[in-house]
């Protein structure tokens, strides 16, 4: 096992450029400063010999066109590689664990195997479990996202919304998208909300960020409409904005001469923050509702509200938090709460959205629960706005395969 992982390089070996790029982003976010990648076994072996700083971790696909993964592992061994290895592959679990055993038999330090598509959380959890994660202080975003840089990025229009589709459970039709903020930073790669939001919140930048985002959303919607797509778009709004009495008017001003277009917007407010003060934002919420903007309670299940508290608020939709949805699989207590929540929300006429549906099993469970809509990696990951029309066109055929 490598000590001080942050002082070593990581090498990503995968023949798919997209996978190499995604893994590089994830690893850099986790605090690995030097990430090399190789598109073939030959390139990997060549790089390994000369890498500076030396490679301490290899993320290796088992299926490579030139040399198979098993042979590649043997070559690493022959080169005297002493760092760690994580195996990744689209092959079945059994083959993966056999390869893992083989590498261990060669006394290589295999941290584990991860399935494809690569998920940031899975990789982070594995590295954390094996003590192979750089310390939090090494993580790039905390050093990167200073208030000044963030303000500059907002002003320069560098922040952009990515969009994740929402699907109707019964018809499987796309009912809308959620806009999620991203900063494609020229020098550092993609920066995600977990690094942006805390800095924005602590420095009074949330409002500016939200408005910059909505402007982009309005432009993108116009573009989608040109290709015949009328999508409702959900945006995340911080509670701080809802205390600003001018918020609804400033929002409407962005729609200029077409105020009726505001009806395509949906505003999501996080439940935990909402419960701090139910009365304060009520004025603003009601006025938004009057402008035909629909309102959604986000991350439901993470706060301490019960639905009777929410009954008197003008919300149309409830989004069950991902942890809650997935946790319900194993925990009968959580499941019971979930069931009664869904039942009550239905009686109140709310639409129920399940977040974080990642697998067919998740889908089956929330379908049985009676959720109306679904969002999650099982359907699609967030993507750039330009990719949405093509994704929707493909979805019409892909969904047939997904649900047979
Ligand atoms: P959220 O509103 O709950 O958004 C859903 C998050 O879960 C997104 O992360 C999305 O990429 C991720 N996700 C979606 N499906 C799955 C799945 O199947 N499995 C897993 N593990 N994750 C899934 P993201 O984009 O990193 O955003 C994180 C949070 O940051 C959001 O959580 C939201 O609270 C906040 N956020 C994002 N954009 C904005 C924004 O423009 N304004 C504000 N105020 N908050 C934002
Ligand atoms: Ca949300
Ligand atoms: Ca959520």
Q: Which of 236, 266, 272, 375 to mutate to test the pocket of ligand 1 (most atoms within 8 A of CB)?
A: 236
| Nearest ligand, measured from the Cα of 166 | 1
**What's the rounded mean pLDDT across residues 388-397?**
96
pLDDT tens-digit profile of 143-179?
578 899 999 999 999 999 999 999 999 999 999 999 9
Residue nearest to atom 19 of ligand 1 (CA): 356
Residue nearest to atom 27 of ligand 1 (CA): 193
The residue among 235 and 369 whose pLDDT is bigger is 235
**What pLDDT sits at residue 375?**
97
Regarding the beta carbon of 196 and ligand 1, being less than 6 Å apart is answered no
Alpha helical stretches, state H, 182-292? 193-202, 206-226, 239-242, 247-253, 271-274, 282-290
Closest C-alpha to 238, from 281, 183, 287: 281
Regarding the beta carbon of 382 and ligand 1, being less than 6 Å apart is answered yes
- How many A from CA of 298 to the centre of ligand 3? 5
Regarding the beta carbon of 358 and ligand 1, being less than 6 Å apart is answered yes
pLDDT tens-digit profile of 122-135?
888 889 888 888 87
| CA distances to 164, 172, 208, 224, 271 from 175, in Å | 11, 9, 28, 14, 22
Model pTM score = 0.71
**What pLDDT sits at residue 207?**
93
Between β-strands 232-236 and 174-185, what pairing exists: parallel, antiparallel or unpaired?
parallel
Which token pair is 64? 């490579």
Regarding the beta carbon of 164 and ligand 1, being less than 6 Å apart is answered yes
Question: Confidence class of residue 138 from pLDDT cuts 50, 70 and 90?
Answer: low
**What's the rounded mean pLDDT across residues 360-381?**
93
CA of 321, closest atom in ligand 1:
3
- How many A from CA of 329 to the centre of ligand 3? 18
Which token pair is 39? 């598109």
Question: Confidence class of residue 274 from pLDDT cuts 50, 70 and 90?
Answer: confident
């Amino acid at each position: 096992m490598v000590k001080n992982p942050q002082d070593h390089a990581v090498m990503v070996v995968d023949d798919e450029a997209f996978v190499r790029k995604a893994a590089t982003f994830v690893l850099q976010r986790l605090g690995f400063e030097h990430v090399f990648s190789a598109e073939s076994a030959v390139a990997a072996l060549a790089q390994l010999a000369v890498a500076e700083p030396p490679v301490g971790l290899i993320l290796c696909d088992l299926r490579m066109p030139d040399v198979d993964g098993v042979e590649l592992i043997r070559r690493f061994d022959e080169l005297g590689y002493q760092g760690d290895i994580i195996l990744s592959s689209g092959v079945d679990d059994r083959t993966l664990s056999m390869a893992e055993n083989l590498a261990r038999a060669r006394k290589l330090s295999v941290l584990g195997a991860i399935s494809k598509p690569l998920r940031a959380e899975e990789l982070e959890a594995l590295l954390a479990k094996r003590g192979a994660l750089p310390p939090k202080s090494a993580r790039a975003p905390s050093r990167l996202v200073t208030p000044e840089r963030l303000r500059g990025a907002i002003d320069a229009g560098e922040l952009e919304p990515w969009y994740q589709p929402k699907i109707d459970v019964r018809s499987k039709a796309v009912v809308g998208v959620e806009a999620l903020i991203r900063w494609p930073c020229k020098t550092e790669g993609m920066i995600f909300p977990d690094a942006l939001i805390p800095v924005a919140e602590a420095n009074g930048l949330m409002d500016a960020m939200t408005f910059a985002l909505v402007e982009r959303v309005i432009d993108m919607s116009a573009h989608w409409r040109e290709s015949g797509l009328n999508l409702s778009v959900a945006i995340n709004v911080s509670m701080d904005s809802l205390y600003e009495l001018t918020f609804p008017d400033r929002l409407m001003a962005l729609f200029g001469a077409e105020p009726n277009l505001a009806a395509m917007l949906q505003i999501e407010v996080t439940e935990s923050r909402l419960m701090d003060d139910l009365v304060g934002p009520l004025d603003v919420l009601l006025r938004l509702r009057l402008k035909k903007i629909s309102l959604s309670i986000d991350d439901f299940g993470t706060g301490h509200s019960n639905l009777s508290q929410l009954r008197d608020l003008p919300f149309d939709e409830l989004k069950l938090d991902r942890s809650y949805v997935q946790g319900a699989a194993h925990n009968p207590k959580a499941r019971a709460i979930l069931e009664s929540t869904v039942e009550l929300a239905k009686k109140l006429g709310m639409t129920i959205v399940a977040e974080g549906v990642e697998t067919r099993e998740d889908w089956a469970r929330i379908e049985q629960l009676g959720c109306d809509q679904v969002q999650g990696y099982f359907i699609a990951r967030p993507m750039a706005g330009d990719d949405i029309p093509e994704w929707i066109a493909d979805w019409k055929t892909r969904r047939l395969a997904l649900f047979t």
